[in-house]
Amino acid sequence: MSVESDVIVMKLSEMNREKLQQFKTECETAYKAFLDEKLSLDMSRGKPAPKQLDLSMGMMDCLKAEDFRAENGLDCRNYGVLDGLPEVKHFFEPMLGVSSDELIVFGNSSLNAMYWAMSVAMTNGVLGGTPWRKLDKVKFLCPVPGYDRHFAVSEFFGMELINIPMNSDGPDMDLIEKLVAEDDSIKGIWCVPMYSNPGGVVYSDEVVKRFAALKPKASDFRIFWDNAYCVHHLTDNPPVQVNLLEEAKKVGNENICYMFASTSKITFPGCGVAIMAGSKENINDLKKSLAFATIGYDKLNQLRHLRFFDGKFENMLEHMKKHKDLIAPKFNIVINTLRDELSDLEIADWSEPVGGYFVSFNQKGCAKRIVQLCKEAGVVLTGAGASFPYGIDPEDENIRISPTFPTEEELQKAMDVFVCSAKLAAAEKLLAE
């Protein structure tokens, strides 16, 4: 698609009013053509495509009928085992870089594990501290743009959310260190340290170490370290990140963090296994609370995952390369379309991630309009503002693009609509100024 055929490609801000009007008219023509196509495309959520799910079809029958015993002989069909089968815990150790006694294997949802951990802090406190519910105010730090479901959990519990700007190497640590040192009502922070949602930011070792050494005024402050994309690389030579818990131990601060991950975007989302890790003291305390909430999670599904990867974590990493082969081309479609169509206009910027599930797109004052234009043309995006607490994007600039679910053909079409909408929104805005 090329709507600016008759317009010399230049910065939009440098166009005179006449050229801008001409540009807008051409955008409108192109946009109307999309309307006529009556599209129905979805780039709203970070969902694996069916072809990615097909990679895990072995999950459907890798657990044979008579294969229901753990290595210690335990009958996985029956009740018991609160925190995960020993061999399954062992399998997941490298995922979060911890040992089995620093790990709990949950059910199918790491979001549920995070929700639960936060709800326990609310009702019963953290390591013997005052239950957060008993405090007049609980504040939580939210690097923005971030994951809407994280922020929603904190909102649900009535917390006050504080936006923290993201830099290219992670959240603004100067600000975080300052805030948490001053205010003991700040009880934690949401982090996606590897390929952040949606920015794709990989926290630098420096940032991880500063998190590890964080000395909040509140002793029950916890970093909710959602390492959802820790093995979700888009390159063959992925970045290596120091381990938060390990660094925290070095400075005697190992209770600072709760870490999470899951197999949701590895095997089958919704039918996977979630894990949580932390210091032995944190984990032992959480296990005591967990014993009130359940008798145990689905051990046959734990065993199924173990069998599918033949008990070897390296096999899971190999499996992730197959995912990469399927989705890296989709990220290329997004990036290339944005580059080809928007770079010269200088109306927007975007992330070019080397892992994770999203491209973060920014165009000041235009996010809502772009999402609306796309929606009317049959392309569903995550709602504008969704990546900010309370759904309020102060600059109305950020849009999360989720390239994985559509086919490449659908995605190219959706991106064509997207860049057309971005241009139209930019022209509208400039002409209205």
Residue closer to its own copies by CB (options 122, 399) is 122
Binding span for its own copies by CB under 8 A among 105-113, 238-246, 347-355, 356-364 = 105-113
Nearest Cα neighbor of 416 from 320, 328, 342 is 342
Q: What minimum distance in Å lies between the beta carbon of 75 and its own copies?
A: 6
CB 141 within 8 A of CB 162: yes
Q: Are 12 and 412 spatial neighbours (Cβ–Cβ below 8 Å)?
A: no
String of contacts with its own copies for each residue 266-295, x by CB under 8 A: --xxxx-----------------x--xxxx
Query: Which tokens go with 213?
Result: 């050494």
Question: Is there binding between residue 133 and its own copies (CB under 8 A)?
Answer: yes
Concatenated DSSP letters of 251-318: TT-GGGEEEEEESTTTS-TTSS-EEEE--HHHHHHHHHHHHHH-S---HHHHHHHHHHTTT-HHHHHH
Measured from the CB atom, the residue of 243 and 284 that comes closer to its own copies is 284
Nearer to its own copies, 204 or 387 (CB): 387
Burial of residue 66 (CB within 10 Å: 0-12, 13-18, 19+) is exposed
7 binds its own copies (CB under 8 A): no
CB of 353 to its own copies, least distance (A): 20
| 3-state SS class at 126 | coil
| Other C-beta atoms lying within 10 Å of the C-beta of residue 64 | 8
Q: Work out whether 174 is an interface residue with its own copies (CB under 8 A).
A: no
**Spatial distance between the Cα atoms of 114 and 122, rounded to a whole number of angstroms:** 12
* Minimum separation from the CB atom of position 120 to its own copies (A): 9
Please identify, using beta-carbon distances, which residue of 107 and 403 lies nearer to its own copies: 107
**Sign of CA pseudo-dihedral 186, 384, 115, 245:** negative
Q: Which stretch binds its own copies (CB under 8 A): 11-19, 101-109, 233-241, 330-338?
A: 101-109
Footprint on residues 16-75 left by its own copies (CB under 8 A): 45, 47-48, 50, 53, 56-57, 60-61, 63-68, 75
Binding to its own copies by residue 185, rule CB under 8 A? no
Q: Is 392 exposed, middle or buried (0-12, 13-18, 19+ CB in 10 A)?
A: exposed
Pick the piece of the chain touching its own copies (CB under 8 A) from 9-17, 127-135, 167-175, 205-213: 127-135
Chain positions 290 to 329 lying near its own copies, rule: CB under 8 A, are 292-301
> Which listed residue (30, 43, 105, 122) binds its own copies by CB under 8 A?
122
Number of residues that bind its own copies (CB under 8 A): 58
Largest CA distance in the chain: 79
Does 135 contact its own copies by CB under 8 A?
Answer: no
The H or E element spanning position 61 is: none
- Binning the chain into helix, strand and coil, the percentages to the nearest 5 are 45, 15, 40
> Distance between CA 121 and CA 129 in Å, rounded?
9
Closer CB to its own copies, 54 or 174, in the complex: 54
Tell the smallest beta-carbon distance from residue 190 to its own copies (Å): 14
Q: Which is nearer to its own copies, 79 or 252 (CB)?
A: 79
Q: Which is nearer to its own copies, 119 or 332 (CB)?
A: 119
**Does 78 help bind its own copies (rule: CB under 8 A)?**
yes
What backbone phi and psi angles, to 5 degrees, belong to 121? -60, -40
Closer to its own copies at the Cβ: 24 or 299? 299
Residue 112 — left, alpha, or beta (φ > 0 → left; ψ -120 to 50 → alpha)? alpha
Q: What is the rounded CA–CA span in Å between residue 416 and residue 328? A: 18
CB of 163 to its own copies, least distance (A): 20
- Binding residues for its own copies, per CB under 8 A? 45, 47-48, 50, 53, 56-57, 60-61, 63-68, 75-81, 107-109, 111-112, 115-116, 119, 122-124, 131, 133-134, 149, 152-153, 156-158, 264, 268-271, 289, 292-301
